[in-house]
Amino acid sequence: MASNSNGNRINVPQAKEALSNMKYEIARELGVNLKQGYNGDLTSREAGYVGGYMVKRLIENAEKQMAGQQTL
């Protein structure tokens, strides 16, 4: 069985900046001290919160778009 290693690859390169902005916005909302570059001082829990909320927001936006509503 071949391994497909496209875990963190962005499928739509034009979305890279928007995803990065979303990550920092969510980190601020959650009170996580996320900075440019190395963030090895974050706990797994903090990093997981940011990633989890990103996924939640992306799903909400996709659902709204499918329903014909405006996304934020």
Task: Give tens-digit pLDDT for 15-64.
Answer: 889 999 999 999 999 999 999 989 999 999 999 999 999 999 999 999 99
Within-domain flag for 34: yes
Report if residue 55 sits inside a domain.
Answer: yes
pTM over 0.85: no
Domain count, the chain: 1
Q: Which domain holds residue 27?
A: 14-66
Angle formed at CA 63 by CA 23 and CA 47, multiple of 5 degrees: 25
The number of beta carbons lying within 10 Å of the beta carbon of residue 32 is 19
Residue 71 lies in a domain: no
Provide the 10 A C-beta neighbour count for residue 26.
Answer: 19
| 20 occurs within a structural domain | yes
The answer to the question of residue 47 being in a domain is: yes
Rounded CA separation 25/21 (Å) = 6
Residue 8 lies in a domain: no
Residue type, 64: K
